[in-house]
Chains A and B, each alone.
Chain A
Amino acid sequence: MRIPKRVNTVLDWIEEHYLALGVVVALIAVALVATLAPRSVGIPVAAFILGLAAGGFTVHVRSSRRVARVRADVDNLLRENGALRHRNTVLASGVITREAQETQALMSIPEDDLPLAEGDAHGSDVTQATVTLDELMEGDPQSTDELPEEEVEEVIREDDPQRTTVLPTIPDDFADQKADRKAGQRNAANDSRRS
C-alpha cells in the first residue's frame, strides 16, 4: 500500500514529536477528568491544564526548530573544519608548498616585450621560454666602454683653464664603429657555441 506524501510527512512529524504529543494527550485527559469536579473548580482547572498543554507544546516545537537549526550550523562547521584539517595535513607533509600552490593557481602571463620566436629544436613552448640574455663582454663588467685613445686625446687639453668635467665629444661615426664591434663579438660567440 502506498502512503500519500502528505500523510507520510504528518506521520514523520508525529514520530519526531511523539513524546510531547503523548504529554499533551495525557493533559487533555486530565482536563476532561477535572470537568467532573464541581463547575466552580473543574472548569478553571480544566482551562488551565489545556492552556498549559498548548503553551508547553508551542515551547517544545520552537525549541526543536532552534535545536535543528543549531545542529545544521554545527554540521556545516564540522564539514568546513574537516576540509581545513585536510588542507593543513597536505601542506604539512610537504607534498606541495603553499607558494607553489599559489603560483600554480596563477594564470601564465605571456612575455610580450620580445617578438615571439618559434619553438626550438626540443619543441618546447615558446611562451614558457625565458629570455636569453646577451653574452657578457670580457673584462671588468663594471667598466664602461672605453673610447679609442686618439679620440680622447683630441678632447682633453691639459692647458684648458675651464677644464673640469669636460666630456670628450663623440665622433659622428662612433655609433657605427660600436655596432660593428658588437656584431663581430656576437658572431664570434655564436660560432663558439655551435662548435
Chain B
Amino acid sequence: MNAGSGSDPERDVPADGGPDRGGPGAVELSKDENERDLTAVHKAVVASAIGNCVEWFDFGVFSAGVMTAIIGTVFFPEDAGGSASLRSFALIAAAFLARPFGGMFFGPMGDKLGRKRVLATTIMLMSGSTFVIGILPGYGTIGIAAPLLLLLVRLIQGFSTGGEYGGAATMIAEYAPTRRRGFFGSFLEMGTLTGYILGAGLVLLMDLALTTEAMHNWGWRIPFLLSLPLGLVGLYVRTRIEDTPTFQRMEEAGKKAQSPLKETLEHYWRVILMLIGIVFLLNVADYTLLTFMPSYLVDFLEMNDTTAQLITIGVEAVMIMVIVPLGALSDRIGRKPLLITAAVGYIVLAWPAFALMQTGNPVGVALGYAMVGGLLVLILAVIAATFPAMFPTKVRYGAFAIGYNLSTSLFGGTAAVLVGSLIDVTGSNYVPAYYLMLAGLVALVPIIKIPETAGVPIEEAGERKALEPVGSGAGARS
C-alpha cells in the first residue's frame, strides 16, 4: 500500500482527521484525545488566519481609492510633487521594502525559538503600527515629522508582516492532519480575503455614510483604529495555544538547526528560487487584482469609483465562498493540478479577460474580473499547504519567510506601479494581461518541478530523501 518512505498516514492519523502524529509506530488516540487535538487544530487555524486578516485589513484600508487620496494630502504638504495617490503608493511600497528583512529576522528566529512566540510578536507589531497610523498627527500639526513618522510606521508594519505569513502558514501546516492540510490551509487565505474586504468595505461604507469633509477630517482614522482590537484578539488566541506538535517533536529530538539562516541559504537556495518563481505569479495576480484593478477600472476604463469597489468586493466575496472547498479538493486530487490550471489559465485567459473589461459594459467588466479572480483563487486555496511543505521542519519558517517576502517585495509591491507606468508609456490597456501571461509562464516551470506533497506527512515533506508521497492520498503514485 505504501510507496516511498516507511510511515503510513493511514495508520498514523486518526480516522476523524486529528492532528498529524507523524512517523511510524504512532500510538492510536482515544476519542477524547482526538476531540482535544481537533480543538487545538481549530485554535491554531483561527490564530493564524486572524493575523493574516489584520495584515490585509490594513492593506485593504490603505489601498482603497478614497483613502490613498486622503493619506496623500493629510501627511504631505500641499505643494509636494506627484499626485496624492502616487505618494500613498510610495508609502505602500515602503512597507514592501521592509518585508524581506522581517522575513530574514523573524523566520530563523521562529525555527530556533518556536513559531508561537514569534507570531505573538508579529501580530502585536502589525496591529500596533496600524493603530498608530490612526492617531498620527497630520502635516498641518507637526510638519515634516508627519510623513517621516508615517514612513517609519509603514516600515515597522512591513518588517513585522515579513514574519507573519511564513509563520502563520507554517503553524497551520504543522498542526493540520496530513490528509486535511489543504482544507485547513485554505482558511489562511480566507483570512486574507476577509481582511481585505473588511478594510475596503469599511472605507467604502464610511465614505458613503460621511460627508467628504468629515471623512477628510476624522473619518479616515476610524478603520486604522479598529485594527487594534482585531490584533488583541489574535494575540489572545495565539498565546493560548501550544507550539506546533511538529516543532515540539523536533525540539525534543534535538534536531533544531544551530544556525537556521545559514543552513537555509546554504542548502535550500534552489527550493527558495522555485518558491520565488511561484510567488511571482501569486503576487502579480494578487496585487494586480486587489491593488491595481480598482484604480484601473476608474482611471483607465473611466468607471464609477463605487461601481469599481463593488465589483472588487463582489468578486472577492465569491472567492471567499469557494476557497475552502477548493482547499479540500486539493487534499483529494493534489495541489499541483490546481496550480497548473491557474498558471495555464493565466497564459490562455489573461488577454480575453482584459478584452472583456475593455467593453465598458458592467457585465463584461465583472466577467473579466471574475476570470482573473477565479484563477487567483485556485492558487490561494493551496499555497498555505504547498509552500511550507517545500521545506524541512528545521528551516521551514525561515526559508519560507525569506523566499516568500523577497518575491513579494520584488514583484508584489512593484506590480501596481510597474503596470501603471507601462500603461502610461505604451498607451495599451492590455499591459496587465501581458504581465499576467509572463508570470504564468515563469511560474509554470517550478510548479511542474516541485514534488506533490498532498498526503505526505509534514515531518517528511521537504526532506530530500523522502520526496515520494505515501499512502492512498492524492499524492500516491499510481
Contacts and interface: CB of A to CB of B under 8 A. Distances in A.
B333 A45 contact: no
Interface residues of A, number: 19
A55 B348 CA distance: 15
B356 interface: yes
Contact of A70 (B1, B333, B352, B356): B1
Task: Output the residue of A40, A48, A66, A69 with the most chain B CB within 10 A.
Answer: A48
B337 A44 contact: no
A55 B341 contact: yes
Interface in A142-156: none
A40 B83 CA distance: 36
A67 interface: yes
Interface stretch (A3-11, A57-65, A99-107): A57-65
B351 interface: yes
A52 B337 contact: no
A143 to B, nearest CB: 62
Interface in B122-165: none
B interface majority secondary structure? helix
Nearest to A45: B352
B276 interface: no
Contacts of B337: 55, 59
B352 A44 contact: yes
Interface string B452-478: 000000000000000000001010101
Interface string A9-52: 00000000000000000000000000000101100110110011
Interface residues of B, number: 19
B472 A40 contact: no
B328 to A, nearest CB: 14
A52 B341 contact: yes
A45 B352 CA distance: 8
A63 B332 contact: yes
B472 A44 contact: no
A73 interface: yes
A67 B351 CA distance: 39
B345 interface: yes
10 contacts: A38-B355, A40-B352, A40-B355, A55-B341, A59-B334, A59-B337, A63-B332, A63-B333, A67-B472, A70-B472
Interface of B: 1, 332-334, 337, 340-341, 344-345, 348-349, 351-352, 355-356, 472, 474, 476, 478
Interface of A: 38, 40-41, 44-45, 47-48, 51-52, 55, 59, 62-63, 65-67, 69-70, 73
The 5 A-B pairs of least Cβ separation, nearest first, read A70-B472, A41-B352, A44-B352, A48-B348, A73-B1
